[in-house]
Amino acid sequence: MSTVTADPAPGRVGLPTKLRQSWDKNWSAWAMVMPVVLVLAILIFYPLINGFWISFTNQTEANQLAEICTKSITGGEVCKENPNAWSFVGLDNYLNVLTGKVGEFWMWTANTLVWTVVGVAFHYGLGLGLAVMINRQMRFRGLYRVLLVLPWAVPAFVSAFAWKFLFNERFGVINSMLGWIGVDPVAWFDSRWTSMFTAVVTNIWLGVPFMMVALLGGMQSISDELYEAAEIDGATPWQRFRNITLPGLRPVSMTVILLGTIWTFNMFPIIFLVTEGQPAGQTEILVTGAFRAAFEGLRNYSLASTYGVLILSILLVFSVFYRRVLRKQGEVW
Amino acid sequence: MAQMTTTPPIADAPASPSGPARVNKPRRGRRSIAASIGLHTTMIVASLIAIGPIAWVLLSSFKPGYAVQSSELTLVKDPTLANYEYVLFDTNFPIWFLNSVLVAALTMLFGIFFSATTGYALSRFNFPGRRSLMMVFLVTQMFPVAILIVPIYTIMANLGLINTLPSLVIAYLTIAVPFCAWMLKGYFDSIPNSLDEAASLDGCGPFRTFWTVILPLARPAIAVTGFYTFLTAWGEVAYASAFIQDDKKFTLAYGMRQFVPQFNPQWEYLTAAAILVTIPAGIVFLFAQKHLVSGLTAGGTKG
């Protein structure tokens, strides 16, 4: 972590003096972070607080105005109170969502869990395997590395479209290749789990490069002396991997797994463009399902906010839990 | 492609204590022929899977429409440039392209600047609020963009920014900067603090130190930040579709959706457009790729 000169003991000084000292010492740091803090406050935290409030109302596109104004013939404006204006409804939105009256919260949650767990597991497993291999001396290593990282450079919506093209039932390459080994064309988007499969495959393809690169970086910061010492002691490659590489990668792994989980959980474009929820909304994950429920047709702001609060809560609970587990194992960050 | 084979092996992370040790280490890395074949086979298969989808789209983009939508599998069939011609000359694609370049370049410039200053402050100064800011950055990653759209739309409308490209730049910065600042903080942590102290003894203030001493040393991480911010802006669809209403102001990601009508997607034009969209991202990638590993490293190791 950063090394900073220790706070000079403030001694017994009044609050204003303390503030002044703090300002003198820290003004440059605050100046450096200020623009980012301001923008985040306006564009992320204000909407968050606002959304939290709206989730307890019944606000939609139709009833959001407190007054309805109509132009009169003389050109002036007459404003009347909106008789159907939105109002505070307490926990109604949450009850509707959680009891399944609106949307399919529990199915979407199940989908999201499958989607996230499978996605992150494969990202990490494949990323680790490839990183271990590419970390060794070999011919064409630079070339392999570039090719393997390439999917990262492809914009997500292009990848989504490319895979939808490959999985097309009539002229997709994948069905053609299945044809070679005598399998009938699969109507990928006609059943829940094959449809989910296409999205998960797309997501895995898209996410492995990031993991591979991050883990490769982590591996290269492990001291070679450890490996040499282990070799002299006669450790097998598996033992070296198990007892040096994996523990050495722990800090990187913990970070990328947490980030990967959050990113995958909220990954919007793949499901939205590849499966489009087919068949009949059975492959929606929480973010896409919420988006369709709240924004297709009449825009339902309060419903969108309710889902937003629920999604954020799930992720917050997860990361607090995750950090606690890490801390128990002696990892502090 | 010659460029990357001539670049030195990737072990140029400043934090890495390896270096010379790697050279005189003959035993590890020797392997039997069978192991070599296995390794290369795996690498080749993995590489094929990695580039396969894009390569297939590339091949398809040179086929006429009827061949793109045929179940017969051919690599090349009546090659033609007609799809590209249509996309480039008969649609608004060039304008969307310029819009995207503008938005992505601005996002990249501002993104690098803000992430670097913030990352430096987080790394070097123990100011009150530092830890909570780190947490806030993590929490911002948890907000589903799809849900934030409406409130942000309202704010942009109040600021009079709806249907302008700056609204997109600002929105993309909120996505990219928290992660990049976090990554850069990790990288700055790996640059010895003694450099700052020396500069400060020479009479440099914190801003000068940052600009003339630290920033040049952080080039790999800056390259990764540039790559990441560019890609974020280049590929984003949700905000672009919400904020921009004018056909002349669309970005590529959103404009391309015009080729996908509900029932009869024009796959042949889509393939050509997809390739054209991927090229600039690929160019940025080629510039950044040799720094990717070392740039991301330190960020990861420190968490």
**What is the pTM assigned to this prediction?**
0.80
Q: Note whether B297 contacts A: Cβ–Cβ < 8 A.
A: yes
Q: Note whether B176 contacts A: Cβ–Cβ < 8 A.
A: no
CB within 8 Å: B18 and A220? yes
Of A326, A300, A318, give the one whose Cα is nearest residue A51. A300
What's the mean pLDDT in A70-88? Answer: 69
CB atoms within 10 A of CB A230: 17
Distance from CA of A254 to the nearest CA of B (A): 8
CB within 8 Å: A44 and B174? yes
Q: Mean pLDDT in chain A?
A: 80
Residue A157 has pLDDT above 50, yes or no: yes
Count CB pairs under 8 A between chains A and B: 310
B-chain residue closest to A166, CA distance: B53
Q: Identify the CATH homologous superfamily for domain B86-302.
A: MetI-like (1.10.3720.10)
A37 lies in some domain: no
- Determine contact, residues A273/A160, Cβ cutoff 8 Å: yes
Tell me the percentage of chain A whose pLDDT exceeds 70: 87
CB within 8 Å: A40 and B174? yes
What's the mean pLDDT in A124-128? Answer: 92
User: A200-209, A228-237, A258-267, B292-301: which range is least confident on average?
Assistant: B292-301
Q: Note whether A322 contacts B: Cβ–Cβ < 8 A.
A: no
Q: Which candidate from A28, A46, A216 shows the least CB-CB separation from B293?
A: A216
Q: Note whether A28 contacts B: Cβ–Cβ < 8 A.
A: yes
Say what the ipTM of the complex is. 0.77
CB within 8 Å: B5 and A140? yes
pLDDT confidence bin for B239, thresholds 50/70/90: confident
A110 lies in some domain: yes
Amino acid at B244: I
Structural domain of A308: 92-328
- Determine contact, residues A70/A77, Cβ cutoff 8 Å: yes
Distance from CA of B215 to the nearest CA of A (A): 14
What's the mean pLDDT in A41-55? Answer: 82
A-chain residue closest to B286, CA distance: A146
A306 lies in some domain: yes
Q: Which candidate from B53, B274, B278 shows the least CB-CB separation from A166?
A: B53
A63-78 pLDDT tens trace: 766 666 666 666 667 7
Amino acid at A255: T
Amino acid at A33: V
A197 lies in some domain: yes
Q: Note whether A211 contacts B: Cβ–Cβ < 8 A.
A: no
A5 lies in some domain: no
CB atoms within 10 A of CB A122: 18
Calpha distance A329→A332 (Å, rounded) = 9
Q: Note whether B157 contacts A: Cβ–Cβ < 8 A.
A: no
Of A151, A127, A131, give the one whose Cα is nearest residue A216. A131
Q: Which candidate from B179, B181, B302 shows the least CB-CB separation from A36?
A: B181
| DSSP 8-state symbol, A56 | T
- How many domains does the structure of chain A reveal? 1
B248-298 pLDDT tens trace: 888 887 777 777 665 666 777 888 888 888 888 888 888 887 777 777 765
A33 lies in some domain: no
Angle in degrees, CA A19, A22, A25, rounded to 5: 150
Chain centroid offset of residue B261 CA:
29
CB within 8 Å: A40 and B136? yes
Question: Which of B147, B254, B284 is best to mutate for the A interface (most A CBs within 10 A)?
Answer: B147
CB within 8 Å: B73 and A173? yes
The number of helices, as runs of H, and strands, as runs of E, in chain B is 16, 0
In DSSP terms, which residues pair with B150 in a beta bridge?
none
CB within 8 Å: A39 and B170? yes
Give the pLDDT confidence score for residue A75 in this predicted structure. 66
B120-174 pLDDT tens trace: 888 888 777 788 888 888 888 887 776 677 778 888 888 888 888 888 898 888 8
Of A75 and A130, which is predicted with more confidence? Answer: A130
Tell me the percentage of chain A whose pLDDT exceeds 90: 5
Chain centroid offset of residue A321 CA:
17
In DSSP terms, which residues pair with A78 in a beta bridge?
A70
CB within 8 Å: B122 and A2? yes
In DSSP terms, which residues pair with A80 in a beta bridge?
A68
CATH number of the domain enclosing A123: 1.10.3720.10
Angle at which helices A105-134 and A192-220 cross, to 10°: 40
- Determine contact, residues A245/A132, Cβ cutoff 8 Å: yes
Q: Which candidate from A40, A209, A220 shows the least CB-CB separation from B140?
A: A40
Q: Is A88 helix (H, G, I), strand (E, B) or coil?
A: strand
pLDDT confidence bin for B49, thresholds 50/70/90: confident
CB within 8 Å: B237 and A157? yes
Give the DSSP per-residue string, A91-153: THHHHHHHTTSSS-HHHHHHHHHHHHHHHHHHHHHHHHHHHHHHTS--TTHHHHHHHHHHHHH
Of A314, A115, A133, give the one whose Cα is nearest residue A216. A133
**Which residues 131-150 on chain A approach chain B with CB closer than 8 angstroms?**
133-134, 136-150
